[in-house]
Structures are given as C-alpha cells and as structure tokens.
Amino acid sequence: MNPKESEKEVVIKADNVVKKFGGRTVLNGISLEIYKGETFVIMGGSGCGKSTFLRHIIGSLKPDSGKIYLLGKDLSTLNDDEMDHLRRKIGMSFQSSALFDSMTVGENVALGLKEHTKLDKSVRDIVVKMKLELVGLRGFEDLMPSQLSGGMKKRVGLARAIAMDPEIVFYDEPTAGLDPIVAGVIDKLILDLSKKLNITSVVVTHDMKSVFSIADRVAMLYEGRVLEVGTPDEIRHSKNEMVQQFINGSPDGPIKFFQQKDDYLETLVA
Amino acid sequence: MGVTVIVNFFAKIGSVVLGAWKGTVEVLGLLFDTIWWLIFGPLKNKFVKSDSIFHQMVFAGVGSLVIAMFVAFFTGIVIAMQSAYQLSRFGANIYVAPMVAISLARELGPVLTALVVTGRVGAAIAAELGTMKVSEQIEALETMALNPIRFLVIPRFLALLVMLPCLTILADLVGIFGGFLVGVFSLDLDPYRYITFSFKYMAWKDVWTGLVKSGTFALIISMIGCYMGLNTKGGAEGVGKSTTLSVVTSFILIILFDCILTGVFYFAGK
C-alpha cells in the first residue's frame, strides 16, 4: 500500500487536505507523512494553518476534501466509538495548557486513567506520581491549576498528555509565552519523552530555537501549503527564500507582513 | 438611501429569524444527544460519574435553597395581602387560603423558582462551560476521548431535573406559610381553619401540573445554559455574551412554556 513502508512505518499521513472557513482557504492541499518515533515539527507564521492542521490530525476538525490516516486508520471512515478508541493512543498538549481548573493537578493527570481503565486508585496515584516526576513536578498533586505558573501548567499539561502512555503526542505551541529558560526546559522534556518512551512527537511551533533543538524533520507551512519538508540542516540551508526569511525572521522578503492585496491608496480615498 | 434602510431592516429580521431557527435546531440536537447518552451510555458501559452529579445537585439545589425560599416566602405574603384586598369586600377572607395555595402550586412556585435558578445556576453553567470552551478545555476532553455531553451536560441536566421540582415543592410550602402568617396575624383567621381551607380546595392536579412545569423549566435552563456555554466564541467577551444570552433566552422560554403548559392543562382539564 505504501511505498515507504519498507523503510519506515508511517503513523500519520495527510493526503491533499483542504479546509475552508467561510470563503477563506486555510488548508490548501497539505500532504505529509510522519514516521514512527520521530519528532516532527510543523512551523510557519501565525495564521498559516498549522494549528488548524493539527486539529485535523486529532480529528476535532474534518477536512473539506482529502484524507488523513492516523495510525493506519482513515479518519473519515471512523464512527465516534472508533475515533474515541483511537484517541486513547494519542496525547495532546495545548497552547493554553487547557487544564481542567475545577480539578487538582493530580486529578487532571489521572482523568484519562480514571475514565478509560479499571486501575485501582492506589495504582493511579502511583502512575500520576511517575508522570509528574517525568516533568519535574512530583509533589504538586494537590495544587489547583490556578496556583501554578504558566510554565508549570504547560508541564502538567504535558504530564496529562502522556498519562495514558500514548503512541503519538501532539504539542500545540509548547513554548509560546514562556521565558527562554522554561522554554528550554520544555524543549528538553519533549526530547526526553520521545527518547525515553519512544513516542512519536508532532510539534507545532514558530519558535526557531526549539525547532532546531528538537526536530528530526521539519515542515514549513505557508498560506495553507507545505513549502518544504526536511531535516533541520536541510531547512537551514534551504534555497527557498520564504523559508530563509522565516528562519532568519527578517521583515523584508517574499513573505509580506501585510496580507491585504487591494490598493492601499484606493482604500484610503474610498 | 431609503430603500437600503428598508432592505437592511428586512435583512436584519431575516437573520434574526434564521439565527433563532438554527439555534432551536441545535438545542434540540443537544437535547437529543443528551437523552441518547442517558439511555445508551450505560449500555456501552459508559456511566455518568455519580460524584459529579452529586456535586451539581448540591450546587444547583442546596445552593439555591435560601434565595428560592426567600422569594417564595415574600411572594406568599404578597398574594395573601393582594387577594385579601379584593376578597374582604365580599367578606370572604378565608378564601385567601386556597387562593395562595393554588396560585403558588400551579403557577408562582414553579415559575419564580425557575427564574431564580436561571439567574443563579443557568448563568453559572453557561459561564463555566463557556470558559472551558475558550480555554480549550472542551477540546482537551474530546482529545482524551471523553464526550463533553456525557461528562459535562448530563450531570447538570440530571441535577436540575431532580432539584428544581424539589425546590419548587419547598417553595410552595414556604409560600403557603407566608400566606398563613398574613391570614392569621393580619386577617385574624383561625389557623386551623386556614390550613384545612388551604388543602380542601387544592387538588392533586394543582401539584403535579406545577411539577410538570418545573421539570420542563429544568430542561430549558440546563439545555440553554449548556448550549450557550458549549458554543461560546472569542475569549472573555464571548463568555459574558453567552452568559447573558443564556439567562435572557431561558427567561423567555420559561414564560413562553409556562403559557403553553397552562393552556394545555386548562383545555385538557375541561
């Protein structure tokens, strides 16, 4: 079925995914393959559709056309129960952490286990301690999310994402809004988790430092299309001017900051 | 210019009507999903957690007790005084007793309690779920394969469905007691006669029609609150908007359905 199957196992495959919101095309035919065990970074400017694409992979949004295969299953053919079953094999760390603020840190991490497994509370507590230890927050079980700093919330979100021992973990802007040191800690955590637990990581970010420190492969998205896919080195030495402009963060280049295409003068006068 | 104003006017009406229609369809969809989960969830071994239902019952029921009783008590006093004002002209002061009892059981008990609970519980539901929506917590639930309807809507729905009729019965009794105080201490009626008269003219139907109303209102408050919450868009402003909209919509629907149900019971009882 898949020509590359002999080399590497494909766990996520997007095939010409198109999504429109109203009249605006957000995803304009994205095709990607992500292999088992790698850390795959999706980068691109704000509004390029990278978060939207992530939401398509985890099945919260459905594409207008095109297909997405997650762990070998075509998402468009799954019913709710099958989708839920598949979702137990993935974890997601959200941009805003999305911790349940009516629950303690420990309850947040334990929720998936409590709802989906028959584990005893004592066993669950041990698992929670282990996951919190992994993110360096052991002993914080009884705090409420509102008592934590932004970086700590992110790390609890991470612990929650890996609580069910997922095969794939998705990270939506894991370092956005954090100070450089905490961002470095999070990057190291993502690396550690994928190496220690051998999970596939898919990271959406526009933080260049973290792109080059964690990625095995990088995809650059622009206006809903994939500009280029490659290893960090290939991306760094890319001939594509847009990619170069993006990684160097220069204001002048083929990517225009102002997206209005109509004439500025005309809009001023009329 | 004048034509545009008229066209805009009709366009506005059209969009309001279409919006209301779309909302109605979606709220009914939510109700259908809720009932579906209530019936088929347990069959799929996905029970609703009793502790979260209990938590909601305490919040919706016990928490609203004082304010609901306060309203009912003074309403009872007011009806007693207002009806005595008319009845004393005929020397029929003793009929204040059944007047208070019946108007509370059939009408004011269910409606006033529902309005109080809308302001307290309906608003809280919309605000809480709305905040969860805009902070990605609802999405987090979905990616953890936890259905928001089973997890969030059903406990609130069941809690209100049980607690609102309970509150209504208590409100009826407290209101009758308020009327009793006026009858005994201000109109110099015999306490024993007042009580026998209260219940002599009150039929079983007066009570159960009140409870049917109260159950319907519980359904309205929980469904509108959850719908507005789950469909919140756009940050803190959106949460405020959903909360306001849920209270206003529930108020309107409660008054509307009160009229419809009163009509049904009136004509069916003929």
pLDDT tens sequence across A46-71? 778 888 899 899 888 889 998 999 99
> CA A167 to CA A78: how far, in whole Å?
19
DSSP string for A103-126? S-HHHHHHHHHHHH----HHHHHH
Of B135, B136, B143, the CB nearest to A90: B143
Q: How far apart are CA A90 and CA A70, in angstroms?
A: 10
- Are the C-beta atoms of residues B213 and B111 closer than 8 Å to each other? yes
Which helix or strand (DSSP H or E) is residue A203 part of? strand A200-205
Residue A246 and residue A124 in one domain: no
Task: Check whether A200 has a pLDDT greater than 60.
Answer: yes
Residues A82 and A174 occupy one common structural domain: yes
Range with lowest mean pLDDT among A1-10, A34-43, B32-41 = A1-10
Q: How far apart are CA B40 and CA B211, in angstroms?
A: 27
* Pair A241, A189 in one domain: yes
Q: How confident is the model at residue B201 (pLDDT cuts 50, 70, 90)?
A: confident
Q: Distance (Å, rounded) from C-alpha A13 to C-alpha A33? A: 5
A222 DSSP β-pair partners: A225
Instruction: Say if the Cβ atoms of B132 and A100 lie within 8 Å.
Output: yes
Q: Which of chain A's residues have a Cβ under 8 Å away from the Cβ of B141?
A: 100
pLDDT of residue A1: 38
Residue that terminates a domain, selected from A165, A181, A196: A165
End-to-end CA distance of chain A: 57
A174 lies in the same domain as A81: yes
Tokens of A118: 């028959």
pLDDT at A226 over 80: yes
SS3 assignment for B150-173: HHHHHHHHHHHHHHHHHHHHHHHH
Winning range, highest mean pLDDT, from A246-250, B47-51, B170-174, B204-208: B170-174
Domain boundaries, chain B: 49-268
H or E stretch including B197? helix B191-200
Specify whether the CB–CB gap between B80 and B94 falls below 8 A: no
- Average of per-residue pLDDT values in chain A: 86
B142 is written with which tokens?
Answer: 């979905």
A80 and A131 part of one domain: no
B139 near A CB under 8 A: yes
pLDDT band at A7 (very low <50, low <70, confident <90, very high): low
Instruction: State which amino acid sits at residue A51.
Output: S
Output the six-digit token pair for A47. 């509004």
Question: Looking at the structure, do residues A67 and A187 belong to the same domain, yes or no?
Answer: yes
Say if the Cβ atoms of B144 and A115 lie within 8 Å.
yes
The CA distance from B46 to A187, in Å, is: 37
| Phi, psi of A230, rounded to the nearest 5 degrees | 180, 180
22-61 of B, contacting A, C-beta below 8 A: 44
Which of A125, A149, A165 is the endpoint of a domain? A165
The pLDDT of residue B261 is above 80: yes
A-to-B residue pairs, Cβ atoms closer than 8 angstroms: 48
Please identify, among A116, A141, A165, the residue that sits at the C-terminal boundary of a domain.
A165
Say how far apart CA A109 and CA A128 lie, in whole Å: 6
CA distance A188 to chain B (A): 23
A100 and A61 both lie in a single domain: no
- The residues, ordered by sequence, that sit 6+ positions from B131 with a Cβ below 8 Å of its Cβ are B137, B232, B239
Q: How far apart are CA B65 and CA B69, in angstroms?
A: 6
Residue A218 shares a structural domain with residue A236? yes
Shortest Cα–Cα distance, A111 to chain B (Å)? 9
Domain of A15, in residue numbers: 3-89+167-269
Question: What's the whole-number mean pLDDT along residues B54-64?
Answer: 92
A35 touches chain B (CB under 8 A): no
**ipTM for the predicted complex:** 0.84
Tell me: do A174 and A242 sit in the same domain. Answer: yes
pLDDT reported for residue A61? 87
Q: What angle do CA B156, B32, B241 make, to 5 degrees?
A: 55
Contact A94 B132 (CB under 8 A): no
pLDDT at A81: 84
Same-domain pairing of A149 and A193:
no
Question: Is B144 an 8 Å CB contact of chain A?
Answer: yes
Confirm or reject contact between B135 and chain A (CB < 8 A). Answer: yes
B133 CA to chain A: closest CA distance, Å? 9
Nearest to A169 by CA among A193, A185, A133: A193
pLDDT, position A262: 64
**How near does any CA of chain B get to the CA of A191, in Å?**
22
Q: In this structure, are residues A43 and A176 in contact, taking their beta carbons and an 8 Å threshold?
A: no
B137, closest residue in chain A (CA to CA): A98
Domains in chain A, number = 2
Q: Among the residues of chain B, which ranges form H helices?
A: 2-40, 50-60, 65-87, 96-103, 109-117, 123-134, 137-143, 148, 154-185, 191-200, 204-230, 235-268
Of A81, A91, A98, the CB nearest to B139: A98
The answer to whether A70 and A11 have CB atoms below 8 angstroms apart is yes
List b or e across A226-254, with b for residues whose CB sees 16 or more CB atoms inside 10 angstroms: bbbbbebeebeebeeebbbbbbeeeeeee
Do A177 and A145 fall into the same domain? no
A179 lies in the same domain as A114:
no
Tell me how far apart the alpha carbons of residues B153 and A48 are, in angstroms, rounded to a whole number: 34
